[in-house]
């Protein structure tokens, strides 16, 4: 339901769980000029506001709502940057006394969105500084994780002509340090004015009350986002990067270009290729490189469906680099030549379908699927159409998709082996 242009309300009635879930999602185009400010805004919103200026004040109020939980997070989806505000609280019918929490929850949402803790058109300086420093620490810790470093380097090389896409959810240390209490507050005001906003209510809610309350906030109309996918050019030359790892383990990260987007007919086959190659313990790479040969500590594959990227990553001893790369090529070529047994295909389909069923046992996962269905269409729908499409995929379909992948970059972080 569109309340005004660019502001959407989704109310999903469910009696399955004991808790209600509310997600308020701000979505904007990913940009290095705003990504770190948005991360700081998210951290501030879950910590304090004018009504509850100290964290302990906010925690005390949440406790009065029978242990309600408030949290925020940031994510990158393709070329979009997302800021989430999440609330989880017990349903009224499970309370020992006949009480209605929705009014208190709405008061809290109003405080978070409309009465931030500000001084002279800027976030309160001490609050801003604390959250800025915390995020810088998070980004610096990420550098100590060799898999994160390899992934980030892979993004930099793969998205060479589009550096914004190589940024983490928080930006980087330099971008975080460049923000001020005033610039972060300016970004928050822009988010409230220009971001697509989705209010997702999952559980037991009076829809009319919810709609009327949000409309009373008089959120302005804004332009809808025009594109979600990043259109990545393919390179004929494989680019390589070699660096020293922080730890003993070496890491290899391979980035392949895939021409397939999630709204294309061959997308289910691409999802199954990922399942067969490296997503699960029965996958080819895991079984061959880790279980049979004992060459790797960790191996897997990952699909970045909104930006043409298919990754394979491996953690191993440096002396095994050449043989591991050879094994990866062999397993990829096996699929490209159609060496996929019926048993392997059925197992992969079963694992994927089981994952989809598990989504129905998680309220947060159901909320996420609601958003993705609204934003990206039927591939994420609740009507079972994608599950049916998976079931009809053949080994030949997967072979065709595997042949369309093109290696773009190799990132090798060499461990110390000490």
Determine contact, residues 316/249, Cβ cutoff 8 Å: yes
Rounded to a whole number, what is the largest CA-CA distance in the chain?
Answer: 68
Cα–Cα dist 232/293, whole Å: 35
- Rounded CA-CA distance 413/243 in Å is 5
Give the helix ranges, DSSP H, for 242-298: 267-274, 284-285
pLDDT, residue 379, reads: 56
Q: Are strands 2-4 and 7-13 parallel, antiparallel or unpaired?
A: antiparallel
The whole-angstrom separation of Cα 3 and Cα 1 is 6
Beta-sheet pairing, 196-203 with 7-13: parallel
Reduce the DSSP state of residue 116 to 3 states and report it.
coil
Residue 244 token pair: 């020293």
Residue 315 · residue 413 · CB < 8 Å:
no
> Residue 270 and residue 274: Cα distance in Å, rounded?
6
Count of H helices and E strands in the chain? 15, 11
Taking the C-alpha atoms of residue 55 and residue 46, their distance in angstroms, rounded to an integer, is 9
What is the reported pLDDT for 383? 58
b (16+ CB within 10 A) / e for 266-288: bbbbbbbbbbbbbbbebbbbbbb
**pLDDT for the residue numbered 381:** 52
Secondary element (H or E) of residue 12: strand 7-13
Please identify which residue in the block is written with the tokens 């242009």: 5
For the chain, the residue count is 418
Average pLDDT, the chain: 91
Rounded Cα distance, 287 and 291, in Å:
5
Integer Cα distance of 71 and 316 in angstroms: 36
Q: Is 0.85 surpassed by the pTM of this model?
A: yes
pLDDT of residue 132: 98
Which residue ranges in the chain fall short of pLDDT 70? 378-383, 417-418
CA angle at 313 for the pair 311 and 314, rounded to the nearest 5°: 165
pLDDT of residue 418: 55
What local confidence, expressed as pLDDT, does residue 186 receive? 98
- What single string gives the DSSP state of each residue in 355-409? HHHHHTT-HHHHHHHHHHHHHH-GGG-SSSHHHHHHHT--HHHHHHHHHH-EEEE
- Nearest alpha carbon to residue 103 among 22, 209, 24: 209
């Amino acid at each position: 339901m569109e309340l005004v242009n660019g502001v959407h309300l989704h109310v999903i009635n469910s009696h399955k769980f004991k808790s209600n879930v509310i997600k308020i999602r701000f979505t904007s185009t990913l940009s290095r000029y705003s990504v770190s400010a948005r991360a700081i805004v998210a951290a501030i919103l879950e910590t304090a506001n004018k009504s509850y200026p100290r964290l302990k004040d906010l925690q005390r109020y949440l406790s009065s709502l029978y242990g309600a939980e408030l949290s925020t997070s940031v994510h990158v989806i393709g070329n979009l940057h997302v800021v989430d505000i999440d609330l989880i609280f017990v349903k009224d019918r499970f309370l020992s006394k006949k009480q209605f929490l929705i009014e208190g929850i709405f008061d809290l949402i109003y405080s978070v969105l409309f009465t931030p803790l500000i001084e002279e058109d800027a976030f309160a300086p001490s609050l801003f500084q604390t959250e800025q420093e915390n995020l810088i620490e998070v980004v610096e810790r990420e550098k100590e994780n060799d898999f994160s470093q390899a992934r980030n380097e892979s993004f930099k090389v793969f998205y060479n002509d589009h550096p914004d896409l190589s940024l983490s959810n928080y930006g980087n240390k330099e971008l975080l340090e460049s923000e001020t209490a005033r610039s972060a507050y300016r970004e928050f005001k822009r988010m409230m004015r220009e971001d697509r906003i989705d209010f997702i209510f999952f559980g037991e809610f009076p829809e009319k009350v919810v709609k009327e309350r949000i409309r009373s906030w008089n959120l302005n109309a804004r332009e809808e986002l025009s594109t979600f996918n990043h259109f990545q050019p393919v390179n004929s030359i494989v680019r390589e990067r070699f660096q020293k790892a922080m730890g003993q383990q070496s890491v290899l990260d391979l980035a392949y270009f895939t021409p397939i987007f999630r709204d294309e007919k061959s997308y289910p086959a691409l999802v199954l290729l990922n399942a067969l190659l490296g997503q699960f313990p029965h996958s080819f790479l895991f079984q061959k490189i880790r279980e049979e040969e004992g060459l790797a500590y960790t191996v897997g594959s990952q699909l970045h469906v909104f930006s043409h990227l298919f990754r394979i990553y491996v953690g191993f001893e440096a002396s095994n680099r050449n043989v591991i790369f050879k094994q990866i090529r062999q397993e990829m070529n096996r699929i490209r030549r159609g060496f996929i047994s019926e048993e392997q295909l059925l197992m992969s389909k079963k694992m994927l379908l089981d994952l989809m069923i598990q989504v129905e046992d998680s309220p947060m996962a159901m909320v996420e699927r609601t958003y993705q269905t609204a934003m990206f269409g039927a591939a994420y729908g609740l009507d079972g159409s994608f599950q049916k499409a998976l079931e009809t995929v053949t080994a030949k379909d997967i072979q065709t998709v595997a042949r369309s992948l093109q290696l773009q970059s190799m990132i090798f972080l060499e461990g110390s082996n000490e």
